[in-house]
Amino acid sequence: MVGTARNGRVRHAFSVVNGGQDLGPSSAPASNAGSECDGIEFTREDVEALLNERPRRKDRFNLKEKCDTLTEYIKRLKLCIKWFQELEGSYLFEREKLQNSVEVSERQCNEMGILFKNKEEELNSIIAELRKSFASVQEKFTKEELDKMTAMESLTREREARLEIERSQNSLSDELGRVQRELSSANQKITSLNDMYKRLQDYIASLQQYNSKLHMDLSTVEEDLKRVEKEKASMVENLSMLRGQLSVSRQSQDDAIKQRDSLVNEVACLRMELQQVRDDRDRHQLQVQTLTAEYTKYKESTEKSCFDLDNLTSKKDELEERCLSQSNEIRTLKDQLLTAERKLQMSDLSTLETRVEYEGQKKHISELQTRLADAEFKLIDGEMLRKKLHNTILELKGNIRVFCRVRPLLADDGPSTEGKVISYPTAMDALGRGIDLVQTGQKHSFTFDKVFMPDVSQEDVFEDISQLVQSALDGYKVCIFAYGQTGSGKTYTMMGDPGDPEEKGLIPRSLEQIFKTRQSLQPQGWKYEMQVSMLEIYNETIRDLLSPNRSSSDMLRTENGIGGKQYTIKHDANGNTHVSDLTILDVRTAKEVSFLLERAAHSRSVGKTQMNEQSSRSHFVFTLRISGVNESTEQQVQGVLNLIDLAGSERLSKSGSTGDRLKETQAINKSLSSLSDVIFSLAKKEDHVPFRNSKLTYLLQPCLGGDSKTLMVVNISPEPSSAGESLCSLRFASRVNACDIGIPRRQTNMRLPDSRLSYG
């Protein structure tokens, strides 16, 4: 918490209030906290000096002096922690105020944003409606204009057609007059020709009469000639005279014949002329009939065109009226559009003002968020320092640390009518550390080092124990074991889900961290060697899970208590534990350990009960021995990491175990009962602690009664039907948390003769 903060800003050290020195802005809440702790504040140097302080004793066997020194040191640590808690409270109060102000500002911004959006949507809808109406009116107007143009064009065409018709009518009238005149002249000609024809007929008749007369005369002459010939004899004297008369008559006859031929020719010519005149008359009559028909047709089309013209004129008048009304409507809509645009401009101005105000609120929120981030950073620093001080106190006190984890409700749990039986207090002193359980209407409260709610991930759980795992590389003995009833999630916490990388448990994550840290320490000159062993305690019998000769027949003989290899547990003077004939393998990578874990998981004893489909029927113990040497400083460390998955406690009435499952349940409950007896003895500080009552407690003796850093993860089921077992687990965990097992000791500067068989 003390030191360089984020964003490159330098954190000011805490000063002493009695000195009258002012504090910087970043340490403003500390002055109130210091005033509640007798006016004392702590700087970074004070805290580091307090943490690094080691008791100096003249007489190492003077326990009273040692006790007084530790008591005084613990009082100062408590005072420092109390000061940091008060500082944390003030930071939390300021953080809550900032969060409230941020929430209020965000609500205001959200309301203004919603108001702005509503107003903008309303204006957009109005503009869209106006635009739609304007577009429809404009479309109607365009359509009407097109109709009007079409009507005008048709009217123009009709007018042109009418003028053309009139011109055609006039030309036809002129032609008709001309034809009528020609007809009248032809009629006159025909009349004159008829008169001439009549005269010619009369003349022909007269010629015919004359010819007939001539014929008659000829006949008379012939008769006279005959009579003369008869009288020739008598008229010889008159022959010359008669010949003369005959020649004259013949000459006159020839003249008459010639005259008749000329008249016949003239009549033929007149007949041809008459035929031609008749043909011309028929042709002119046909032309007159054709022109009369065309005139009638043009007259009818003219009447129709006049009717259409009248209709178009009425249409034109109607369209002009509609156009005038639509022009008025468009003018009105334009006025409305101008009004809407003015409103839009006003709304834009108000929107701009709102946006400016929104930007100001946003800037204010960002400032508040920055202050909140600073406060959270200070809070995180304070929490880290509090944890460090708390761990230091726990190490000095020698207590076993206890974490509590509540698994989420599963689909197989079924519906419950009793409601929730587990809750979490929100008070500052119990936040994240307290848990309440209700059974038969009575509330039981517990406080541990950490409480994990059901929604906490595997990664978050491991983050809180990662420093403890790191201690194994630093040369400490570390033991982490999971405790709880069957089906509470112990194996999931320790092993996780092998098929999902996000659901890995504490054991795989611890190995990954150790190998990753080993890799990062190589440039500093550190070289580590690691050895792994895995065993299970099944029905008070130790089984080697990594034994290469392990088979199903060996397991069967061990279950029946016959044959099988016997393993013994021994403790040496240095607090190390040895298991005879146990397989210990050297490992170099996390993959090798993962393979061995998978192999051990397949060899471990599991069974089905009414409480759990895959219930662990044995206690699983994973041990990693770490031996490190720094070539540059020649420093040597010996660390041990024990990760233990205990079998679940269960009641026979709920598990329904029979046969082999019944024997397993009895053996599990017996070993857990022995563990409870050991915890009771340690809590009461009795002289005799019954570690030898079971293989489990005897194996865990260095973790429970030695110099090891020990953590118990108690797993709780949230089912109301399991409230009784959960209460027993929480009570047992509370007793474990109160046990004082001594200050953990770091193993450095020594090399064990045989480091392969120790559990620490």
Q: What is the predicted pLDDT for the residue at 252?
A: 77
Of residues 122 and 706, the one with the higher pLDDT is 122
**Cβ atoms within 10 Å of 507's Cβ, excluding its own:** 23
Chain segment 389-446, per-residue pLDDT in tens: 756 665 665 558 899 999 888 777 655 555 688 999 888 777 888 999 998 889 999 9
**Cα–Cα distance between 708 and 641 in angstroms, integer?**
10
Inform me whether the pLDDT recorded for 591 exceeds 50: yes
Chain segment 280-337, per-residue pLDDT in tens: 888 888 888 888 887 788 778 778 878 888 888 888 888 888 888 888 888 888 888 8
Residues annotated within a binding site for ATP: 484-491
Query: How much is the average pLDDT of 57-74?
Result: 74
Instruction: Kindly state the tokens that stand for 519.
Output: 């890799």
Q: What is the predicted pLDDT for the residue at 427?
A: 81
**Cα–Cα distance between 708 and 705 in angstroms, integer?**
8
User: Mean pLDDT lowest for which of 284-298, 324-338, 483-497, 651-665?
Assistant: 651-665
| E-assigned strand segments in 292-393 | none
Chain segment 595-639, per-residue pLDDT in tens: 998 888 888 776 555 444 556 678 999 999 999 998 888 888 888
569-571 and 577-579 beta bridge pairing: antiparallel
User: Mean pLDDT lowest for which of 25-34, 647-656, 730-739?
Assistant: 25-34
**Cα–Cα distance between 253 and 663 in angstroms, integer?**
182
Chain segment 326-359, per-residue pLDDT in tens: 888 888 888 888 888 888 888 788 878 888 888 8
- The three-state secondary structure class of 652 is helix
Of residues 64 and 716, the one with the higher pLDDT is 716
User: Mean pLDDT lowest for which of 404-413, 563-572, 619-628, 654-663?
Assistant: 654-663
Residues annotated within a binding site: 484-491
Inform me whether the pLDDT recorded for 754 exceeds 50: no
Inform me whether the pLDDT recorded for 176 exceeds 80: no
Q: What is the predicted pLDDT for the residue at 730?
A: 93
Q: What is the predicted pLDDT for the residue at 29?
A: 43
Inform me whether the pLDDT recorded for 201 exceeds 60: yes
Domains detected in the chain: 458-548+568-705+723-729 (3.40.850.10)
Q: What is the predicted pLDDT for the residue at 285?
A: 80
- Identify the sign of the CA torsion 96, 99, 105, 111: negative
Non-local CB neighbours of 546 within 8 Å, separated by 6+ positions: 532, 533, 534, 583, 585, 596, 599, 600
Inform me whether the pLDDT recorded for 548 exceeds 60: yes
**Per residue, what are the HEC states of 273-289?**
HHHHHHHHHHHHHHHHH
Q: What is the predicted pLDDT for the residue at 386?
A: 65
Where does the pLDDT of residue 7 fall: very low under 50, low under 70, confident under 90, or very high at 90 and above? very low
**Cβ atoms within 10 Å of 266's Cβ, excluding its own:** 13
Q: Report CA Rg, the chain.
A: 67
Rounded (10°) angle between helices 239-397 and 63-230: 180
Task: Please name the residue that has the structure tokens 């002055």.
Answer: 31
What is the b/e burial string over 527-542, where b = at least 16 CB atoms within 10 angstroms of the residue's CB? ebebbbbbbbbbbebb
With contact defined as beta carbons under 8 Å apart, do 535 and 577 qualify?
no
Non-local CB neighbours of 19 within 8 Å, separated by 6+ positions: none
Inform me whether the pLDDT recorded for 749 exceeds 70: no
**Cα–Cα distance between 438 and 418 in angstroms, integer?**
11
Q: What Å distances lie between residue 462 and 77, 474, 497, 590, CA to CA?
A: 27, 18, 15, 17
Inform me whether the pLDDT recorded for 10 exceeds 50: no
**What residue type is assigned to position 314 of the chain?**
S
Query: Containing H/E element for 171?
Result: helix 63-230
